[in-house]
Structure 1
Amino acid sequence: MTSPMIRAVLYGILPALGILWMLDAPQWIDWVVITEQYLVVILGLALLAGLVTEPLPGRLVVIDWALGLAALAAWLWMAWNYEAWLLDPLGRGPEKWVPAVIAIAVSLEATRRHCGKVLAMLGAVFLAYGFFGWLGPGIFEGAYMAPNRFLLYIYTDTNGIPGLVLKVGATQILGFIVFGATLNAVGGSAILTNLAMATMGHRRGGPAKVAIIASSLFGTLSGSTVANVMSTGVVTIPMMKKTGFPPRYAGAIEAVASNGGQIAPPVMGATAFVIAEFLQVAYTDVVAAALLPAVFYYYLLYRQVDRFAAAQGIEGVAREDLPSLRLSLLQSWPLLAPLGVLIWFLFYLGYSPGKAALYSAGAAYALHVVREPGDALRAIPRLLKASGATLIPILLVCAIAGIVIGTINTTGLGFALTLALGKIAELGGIVALLAATAIIAIILGVGMPTTGVYVIVSVLLAPALVRQGIDQMSAHLFIFYFGLLSMLTPPVAVASYSAASIAESDMWKTGVTGVKLAIVAYLLPFVFALNPALLMNGTWLEISVSCLTILVSGYLLAEFLATRRAFGGGAMRWLGLAVALVVGGSTAVLPPASLPVIALALAAIPAALLLSRLGAPALAPKETT
């Protein structure tokens, strides 16, 4: 078993190396380092740390160290020879392909240990297709490439492992991981929870609303739905149960709120920067596009929670048992000030996201030193260790993404997938294509980290959507949403099951309740795929009408889903659902801001108010499971 000290060093060296690189440390000593050399060195260190910190069962530490050191040596060998190899692209001797085999094979094993079998198998399948795809049937027959040439392409080419995705992971995402870890190390999670408690805890169903606010704010920085559930859920779920929420409902609220943090600007679990790099657009364009869908996601969740609490008679927490709002605001400056620094560097000074995040982390640490000087030195190992532990699976996912991208580029598989999905569009129309893409995205996203979900799924599926006329931003956000929904969709609803373990509730019931609470996340992507006005891509009239229809539709859906007594039950209840779906669906299927859409939205407003009153007088029977 590796000692805690060695584990801490292995974890800490990764963010430390990344920070030095992003602050241009090599230039301080006039040392010329190519970006790809840095990328493969940090990946090699991540492999060593990943294997040693997630050892094989039994007393097999020697094997873990041997594999890790072999992988590190293989990537260091490439870094050392990289400039010479650039001048010798035709040389493909064993001095190149043998370390390539070691580096790639160990990358798959480390990924299996940290990210699960699904992602590791995906990488292995794409490698196999790279070698044998030329034997495939029909449109899936890939181009032939000599095995050693294919290996070296994956190992050394900027379209392989040391490519764009790994670069984003080892720079932009690394910066925000350090920022998030710094905020957490100096008490940011507790500050967020206290602030949410002070503002929402006394309201109807207050603890659930606290979970929504705290999880949305913390989740956008954490980069992991499950980590968000486990950090905020241990506080919010017991509170929800104590005030009367059934355990399955408490767990589902936390899971859905935590998952929403990954789609909420400005950080989106660090995926916003990957989307910007993939689409070659400004980061602010991604934030603007993702804003309205995230607002409606939380709007509908909030409405459902509020209506459920009203139907069940669940009150908030007594004021005297909550933190003081004034005191919470005063105590929140160590969190709010660094966020202000982040916004200043990002949007006013125009710094790169990763570097802006590092400066913001420095501001958070400086404030912590002022507040608690005695903890100044002890905090550094904590935040470096936390950053490294989070960074390892991210870098491994980036490596697998490099394998996938490299295989697609060399074999023509991307064209085959686009052609296959195009056939679906020809037979069933654009909606059938979107539905098939959504199902594939959910399946491929099972068990992956947030960034990995987007990278893998977008590389495979986005080109087909774009080729059928879907706007690029809409296509990528559509895929991102459904990849993330794998966290909530049974039978492998990782986020819901994690929350269920805290709530001590039935996992399947918690997962089904989570799907109901997140219904807007299953519907909105179809709307903005067919009508990009919801992504701020349109005139102000089109955007306003789209928002109005979704707002009214969400209001009715919340009434329908919150309780069985909505609209008085029976036929009126189903009429409310029909109105909600027609109003919301009109935004997608009719031209933006057309007269029928405007008339339907305006007519639905009094209908929504009237129908919602029909179910108001009596409380629904108490739910206890």
Structure 2
Amino acid sequence: MSDKLNKEGPLSNEELEDLVASTDTGGRTPDNAFIVKLMMGLALVWSVWQIWIASPLPYIFNFGVFSGKEARPVHLAFSIILAFMAYPAFKKSPRHEIPLADWGLAIIGALATMYLFAFDTAFGDTLTGSRLSDRPGNPILPDIIVACVGVVVLLEATRRALGPPLMIVAMVFLGYTFLGPYAPGILAWKGASFGAVADHQWLSSEGVFGIALGVSTGLVFLFVLFGALLDKAGAGNYFIKVAFSLMGHLRGGPAKAAVVASGMTGLISGSSIANVVTTGTFTIPMMKRVGFTPEKAGAVEVASSVNGQIMPPVMGAAAFLMVEYVNISYFDVVRHAFVPAIISYIALVYIVHLEAMKLDMQGLPKAGETKPAKLALLSFGITLSAVLAIGGGLYYLSELFNLLGSTFNKLAAILILIALQMGVFKGIVARSAEGTKALIFSKGAVVLCNVVIVCFGIFFAVNLIRELAGSDLTPWIVGASILVVYIILISICAKYPDLEVDDPNAPVTALPEPGPTVMAGLHFLLPVAVLIWCLMIERLSPELSAFWAVALMIFILLTQRQVFAFFRKEAQTGKLKQGFSELVEGLIAGARNMIGIGIATAAAGIIVGTVSQTGVGLVLAELVEFLSQGQILLILIFTAILSLILGMGLPTTANYIVVSSLLAPVVVSLGQQNGLIVPLIAVHLFVFYFGIMADVTPPVGLASFAAAAVSGGDPIRTGFVAFFYSMRTAILPFLFIFNTDLLLIDVTPLEGVVVFIVATAAILLFTAGTQGYFFARSKMWESALLILIAFTLFRPGFWMDLISPPFSKTEPATLVDVMGSLNSGSEMRLIVQGEDDVGDPLVFTAILPVLDGATSEERLEKVGLELLIEGDEVIIDNAAFDSPAQAAGLDFDQKILSVLVPVSQPAKELMYIPALILLAFIGLIQRRRSRAAQSEAATA
């Protein structure tokens, strides 16, 4: 692979495919047809098995039911076998045959993993006299031998599939478990025996077969498979064509289209490199054609492709890992991740726009009439306002009708929506056709508003069906409705020609028309809509949601060509066979895409197991606290640096698992000690963001090397430019740690809309400040002020807290009186002195809610707090089990040092006023400078 990356000039399509294969799915292509069929067969069986265990069928037929404990070894066995078959041992190892040693390692690795499955049944009882579950913590000699062999084979598979870094990190942690007594200073611990390590790492659910591998087995595989099937059906090309048709005519249009296309393909690809090569093959040559240098063209593609991993609802594998590690629902993970991901992409589009403005670039020629820029902006504003107004109104309408709850009211709601959709907007379309305000309120606005109305209509209709038909018939009715919608969509799509895959090096005379391009693949949106509906509305488990989406994709692959042929009145011959072949190819591609992820989650489990067995996390907390001197900002910087360093060699998933296991609890606890209450989800997203940044960071960022291979530019320079473009992604984690409104934590829907609008404006201003261009090229002081304004919009509470502190400090003896004087529902903060888990002194901040109660004593009782007051000294005598006091971290014999009482504070949003005045001042200066420059250019 490195030979190709270092090659001068862009790579051919075949070389690019080999690049993706060697990094994601394995670069070995055996000449022996039987071996090829065997590899494909194993991948196919793996996919079918994963679909089977995720479906309700095993429980319906009472056959083939696998528990999570049983499924993990089978999942890892498939990963290991395919890893040794697909990945050569060394650069010079044969690529067209599988050596005997690789066969041996594949078989040994599979047997070692299946040992856990086979020997925890009656079979193991017969051979060894007991099952594995009968001897927890007490392994016998065969257990230890199998564990040792399994770990060694897994580490070798890790080296092949993911490179040496993850293997080395895992070996260092594994060595620490044995060599603990010889470790220096505070890192020293008593060490562990072979038996203890074998049991913990291989035989229990704490190490290799822990949570990470469980998430890979139950969730990640299905989502990766869904993406592979969607891509095989043609959705990848559809997303790229739609992005180009909508944005290619703008300044720097191909680069903006690359950002949008990568955001959409992020739904179907969990690999930065595959995303770069898939979309970059088309976008990078076009970016170069309109004036971008090879390095900047590659950097735009890298920044947008890497950001595909932060885009909900899939987010690579991290979203599902967060569900397990943070112990919140998948819906909450997506809700918290939504705003940062969206505004990060908006900022990247703006970066491209600023680069185009600097170089006075033009877009590609557009088919049809081009709307003037000012009217286009006005149209966008009206469209956004209409969508938000209709969406907000219908949201509260849905809340009202759910509150009323009667069948009649729900039916009335559906009729209102139908009338709204058919009446008002049909009239607008008619007036637009006559030329009235046609440029301002475009048909695109009508389409978006109709989409919002239809979504709410579907929501009411499903609720009505559930109420009338009952829970048994509802799934059948909904399934039949989806089938009808699918046929209707294809009948619409069939009126337009298929979207062919274009040659990116061919000259572009005009962009495709947006309307026909969007309409040609509407049916691809149906499985995505079903996935999001199941996850967000029905609140099904992610595993079951992905299964239904995959099931629909299987149906689409098998039938879409036949249905298209029916509506186009074409011959049906061979259509079913072609669809079946595409389905098989998609199932195989999904399994091969999972090889690296399965290996990575298993190898990362070694590190997680070491942390839980040795307690090194507590030691690391002390080390980080010492280095940072208790400063939360320094803690975050150290965490970010560690994430970047580890991420240079680890895939994103493994990097997230390692750093979140080591440092997420540290950041939360040290933040609490310093008066900053950091939600755990914020820390996990912080770690994840810097983990994906490592795919960009020179000198190791493979995504930058892949983009340079496409563009023919210098890979190191591409990496540095991409890192500079990604600064807006790097600043967001620091901001949402200190302002959790960005994660939509404890905000209403209306507040969420305001947060989104303000955060978007702030990230655009930050981008303008870092890029040195707003309306014109910025001077240094102007860039600094733009960044300051952006900070104020992101975190207005910082300045307001300096002007008017939100808490007043009182003596601990006043706690009882304060509790009685505060309004119910407010929160007070206690500075508490206690001990940590190992008995060392600890000072931290606890948040104590104020609950309803007639007296102070009654309120204290409700929060579960009993105090011992002796003069000015207040000691906690008891914190009741499962009470708010215990949840706040309070415990027996802790000493309350002081009480922070909330005081009335002006709205922090008032700080927007001076920020906006300063922004208007800078904008006025730059507009004058821009007009003067344009006048000089016109005169010249």
Post-superposition shift, 1:139?
A: 2.1
Aligned ranges for residues 336-355 of structure 1 at < 5 Å?
336-355=525-544
Change (3 A) 1:305 1:25: same
State the AA in 2 paired with 1:597: M
State the AA in 2 paired with 1:455: I
Contact 1:552 1:583 in 2 (8 A): no
Contact 1:546 1:587 in 2 (8 A): no
Match of 1:498 in 2: 706
Distance in 1 (CA, whole Å) between partners of 2:615 and 2:783 is: 48
Change (3 A) 1:401 1:389: same
Secondary structure, aligned partner of 1:319: coil
Match of 2:655 in 1: 453
Distance in 1 (CA, whole Å) between partners of 2:770 and 2:629 is: 35
Post-superposition shift, 1:358?
A: 2.4
1:117 to 158, 164, 173: 164
Larger relative helix fraction? 1
Distance in 1 (CA, whole Å) between partners of 2:908 and 2:774 is: 34
1:583 to 783, 786, 792: 792
Distance in 2 (CA, whole Å) between partners of 1:343 and 1:542 is: 23
Match of 1:623 in 2: none
Change (3 A) 1:602 1:544: farther
State the AA in 2 paired with 1:234: T
Match of 1:49 in 2: 82
Post-superposition shift, 1:563?
A: 5.4
Post-superposition shift, 1:461?
A: 1.3
Post-superposition shift, 1:75?
A: 1.4
Match of 1:78 in 2: 116
Post-superposition shift, 1:138?
A: 2.4
Post-superposition shift, 1:304?
A: 1.4
State the AA in 2 paired with 1:511: G
Match of 1:622 in 2: none
1:331 to 496, 520, 524: 520
Name the Cα RMSD after superposition: 2.3
2:591 is the counterpart of 1:559: no
Change (3 A) 1:569 1:115: same
Contact 2:786 2:919 in 1 (8 A): no
Secondary structure, aligned partner of 1:222: coil
Match of 2:912 in 1: 598
Distance in 1 (CA, whole Å) between partners of 2:657 and 2:298 is: 28
Contact 1:462 1:476 in 2 (8 A): yes
Please say which structure displays the higher CA radius of gyration.
2
1:395-416 deviation line (CA, Å, top 9, x unaligned)? 1111012111111111111111
Distance in 2 (CA, whole Å) between partners of 1:394 and 1:588 is: 41
Change (3 A) 1:175 1:139: same
Contact 2:213 2:602 in 1 (8 A): yes
When normalised by structure 1's length, the TM-score is: 0.93
Aligned ranges for residues 390-405 of structure 1 at < 5 Å?
390-405=593-608
1:384-440 deviation line (CA, Å, top 9, x unaligned)? 22111111111111101211111111111111112211223325x111111111000
Change (3 A) 1:395 1:568: closer
Post-superposition shift, 1:572?
A: 4.7
State the AA in 1 paired with 2:43: Y
Distance in 2 (CA, whole Å) between partners of 1:145 and 1:343 is: 46
Task: Name which of structure 1's ranges 367-376 and 549-558 shifts more when overlaid on structure 2.
Answer: 549-558
2:295 is the counterpart of 1:248: yes
Contact 2:318 2:688 in 1 (8 A): no
Post-superposition shift, 1:379?
A: 1.2
Distance in 2 (CA, whole Å) between partners of 1:385 and 1:40 is: 20
Contact 2:770 2:787 in 1 (8 A): no
Match of 1:63 in 2: 101
Distance in 2 (CA, whole Å) between partners of 1:70 and 1:615 is: 71
2:558 is the counterpart of 1:369: yes
Contact 1:481 1:525 in 2 (8 A): yes
Contact 2:201 2:606 in 1 (8 A): yes
1:588-611 deviation line (CA, Å, top 9, x unaligned)? 744685256333433344245335
Distance in 1 (CA, whole Å) between partners of 2:656 and 2:258 is: 25
2:176 is the counterpart of 1:144: no
Change (3 A) 1:189 1:92: same
Larger relative strand fraction? 2
State the AA in 2 paired with 1:242: R
- The answer to which structure, 1 or 2, has the higher relative contact order (CA under 8 A, 6+ apart) is 1
Contact 1:140 1:413 in 2 (8 A): yes
1:142-187 deviation line (CA, Å, top 9, x unaligned)? 3432221211211111112112111110111111011000001111
Post-superposition shift, 1:517?
A: 1.2
Aligned ranges for residues 234-383 of structure 1 at < 5 Å?
234-320=281-367, 321-373=510-562, 374=575, 375-383=578-586
Contact 1:118 1:447 in 2 (8 A): yes
Match of 2:41 in 1: 9
1:252-273 deviation line (CA, Å, top 9, x unaligned)? 1110011111111111123211
Change (3 A) 1:547 1:30: closer
Secondary structure, aligned partner of 2:316: helix
Contact 2:772 2:778 in 1 (8 A): no
1:425-470 deviation line (CA, Å, top 9, x unaligned)? 325x111111111000111111433322221221111111111232
1:261-303 deviation line (CA, Å, top 9, x unaligned)? 1111111123211111211101111111111111221121111
Distance in 2 (CA, whole Å) between partners of 1:196 and 1:118 is: 37
2:168 is the counterpart of 1:168: no
- In structure 1, the gaps of 5 or more residues are 620-625
Task: Name which of structure 1's ranges 88-97 and 166-175 shifts more when overlaid on structure 2.
Answer: 88-97
Match of 2:811 in 1: none
1:411 to 568, 592, 614: 614
Contact 2:535 2:541 in 1 (8 A): yes
Change (3 A) 1:300 1:607: farther
Contact 2:248 2:511 in 1 (8 A): yes
Contact 2:53 2:65 in 1 (8 A): no
Task: Name which of structure 1's ranges 404-413 and 9-18 shifts more when overlaid on structure 2.
Answer: 9-18
Contact 2:231 2:268 in 1 (8 A): no
Query: Identity of paired residues, percent?
Result: 30
Secondary structure, aligned partner of 2:694: helix
Contact 1:165 1:398 in 2 (8 A): yes
Distance in 1 (CA, whole Å) between partners of 2:363 and 2:70 is: 55
Task: Name which of structure 1's ranges 226-235 and 542-551 shifts more when overlaid on structure 2.
Answer: 542-551
Distance in 2 (CA, whole Å) between partners of 1:253 and 1:281 is: 34
